[in-house]
Structure 1
């Protein structure tokens, strides 16, 4: 992560100093542009853009109705946002507001994924998908995007260059969170109302297995080394650990109330789990699981309704969206303390950092 400030270069042969302000390097295009964090504000129909160095808000981008999740592409050039189409009357807002697991209801019209240019923060595409889209991920090579459609039990596959739907894959009941394996060969889909994880083969674009995991699976994840997969069990207050080689649950780890999103650190040693709780009894913690001992090593207090988790490429900071507090907590992973709390839009849910 590049920090803004003054960078001094010395040329010993010519004996001169050249001083370059790092913050000005963004003018040349994508080179050394500031890292950013994108937050989907489901209650505000916006995406907040934060500077990952200063933690200041850079922009608020108007998107479609009730944006639930956002994902920055591997090249950092675009942010993909799931929503329910053009902004309009919010009569159906109660069906999704705050992502109360199990309380979702299908929207009357198919949803969409909108694409934000991260250089200009402009909307550059709108791609129709299935009913009630929840999460979106982009393949490691950047060619395809996968979107869960909770309203019709499917995953939409989008060609990111053409920005067109190329496949629709049936999965389990009410698919919600999904992640792609580090090698890009499989997509793990959490079926919130099915108690299963669907495994999609990215070569054939077909679901090739369903793994029974437990109650209320909300989001999946992998360690970067590919050794372990995970799924949060929102109705068990636990995380299930899956062996990708056997596609079997090998253990469960107790965490906080209503765990939703989870994310492993770049060194594959720690798993962060956001414990949202309910609107009536909000959770406000992130569990840090030691992946050598498979035990919670630390519980950090964030904000009410801790929901989304993203970690920067260096493993220095984690960003946690607090759905009921309308904030993002910046967690210093070295000190395991909150370094900053940033106000964002109403009901922030999905969150993603530039790679």
Structure 2
């Protein structure tokens, strides 16, 4: 898509650093591109891009992205395959492909472990039968799938606890949060998220996805019908201290906070329409979420749960989000609708305003921060 700056949004004059954020654009309408967005005193721009995938005719659909802890490599899931998708390993400097491995059906959200040894990828199975799917664990050195942990129907949101002992994911069709023991590679327990029936249980969840009624084709765009108490979760985000896990209930437009130790619900809070992906600031003070049906981003106080601000995005269907290392800026992808390009919006978390936006490819989704560079000295 065309790359341009949003003229009426000016970068903060207090910018002291240059941040490069890497993103991918997923979905059937995507152009199978990986792009680097560079943000600094002069605004935001796409600094480079490359095409990813195997199929020269149909889109491969890049979806999730994660940069290794040392910043030397990054990983991208391409969701479309025959029949399965692929995880790619690339060099961050050159974008050269270093390896790839086939996973399950429609691999989506991913996270790289803190030691860089493992990539955890949910097999979302967006277009398949309503049957339980899995989470793939990949050894990143040799790009080998070590195991595929069965979970539930349409798993999404792949996040590790701060200490690396838990892997959290949710299943849209089964209304559950799943806790995988990251050392044993097996489901330890699950939590039912339906309103009025919240309950933590041991072991894997019951296999009931085919009987559930949820937004399969719309993937989070369908509002609830009268009397609907389902959650339709799309994300699990651990707190920075690891004591709780926040779940985005996309259908209900609510946040559910689960106590990890007692395995009970702490609270259930309203948020923006179609809450989708979540993130926290590194200091743990703020909980941030994209609102897929609300064309906005919500900023919550993590301690009180209060919604501090709701900031409109430049395009419809906001999707992924990531926080800069200094907690100053939030990078948000917007998919867009139809033929309009996607976008990356940059939100100043100090002023709670959108300070820059740049057009990217259609259906922009996964995003991660690559590195922070010093601003070149003025000549």
What TM-score does the superposition give when structure 2 sets the normalisation length?
A: 0.75
Map Cα deviations across residues 7-30 of structure 1 (whole Å, 9 max, x no partner): xxxxxxxxxxxxxxxx9xxxxxxx
Which residue of 1 is the match for residue 177 of structure 2? 197
1:300 aligns with one of 311, 316, 322: 311
For structure 2, which runs of at least 5 residues remain unmatched after alignment?
1-16, 54-59, 126-131, 195-230, 372-379
Give the CA deviation at 1:225: 2.0
Distance in 1 between the 2:39 and 2:279 partners? 18
1:36 aligns with one of 12, 20, 43: 20
Partner of 2:282, secondary structure, is coil
Partner of 1:110, secondary structure, is coil
Give the CA deviation at 1:52: 4.1
- 2:113 equivalent to 1:144: no
Instruction: Judge which range, 310-319 or 51-60, deviates more.
Output: 51-60
- 2:366 equivalent to 1:354: no
Give the CA deviation at 1:108: 4.7
1:168 aligns with one of 139, 145, 148: 148
Which residue of 2 is the match for residue 157 of structure 1? 137
Q: Is the 8 A contact 1:230 1:240 kept in 2?
A: yes
1:212 aligns with one of 192, 206, 222: 192
Seen in structure 2, the aligned counterparts of structure 1 residues 247 and 178 have a Cα distance that, compared at 3 Å, is: farther
Which residue of 1 is the match for residue 221 of structure 2? none
Distance in 2 between the 1:345 and 1:261 partners? 19
Distance in 2 between the 1:114 and 1:60 partners? 16
Distance in 1 between the 2:193 and 2:157 partners? 14
- 2:229 equivalent to 1:229: no
Which residue of 2 is the match for residue 57 of structure 1? 46
More RCO (CA 8 Å, sep 6+): 2
For structure 1, which runs of at least 5 residues remain unmatched after alignment?
1-22, 24-33, 86-106, 278-282
Distance in 1 between the 2:361 and 2:74 partners? 17
Give the CA deviation at 1:227: 2.7
Q: Is the 8 A contact 2:63 2:79 kept in 1?
A: no
Which residue of 2 is the match for residue 27 of structure 1? none
- 2:64 equivalent to 1:69: yes
Give the CA deviation at 1:35: 4.6
Partner of 2:272, secondary structure, is coil
Distance in 2 between the 1:333 and 1:200 partners? 32
Give the CA deviation at 1:284: 1.3
RMSD: 1.8
Which residue of 1 is the match for residue 165 of structure 2? 185
Distance in 2 between the 1:84 and 1:242 partners? 30
For residues 1-355 of structure 1, the aligned pairs below 5 Å read 35-42=19-26, 43-53=30-40, 55-64=44-53, 65-84=60-79, 108-151=82-125, 153-214=133-194, 215-277=231-293, 283-303=294-314, 304-324=316-336, 326-354=342-370
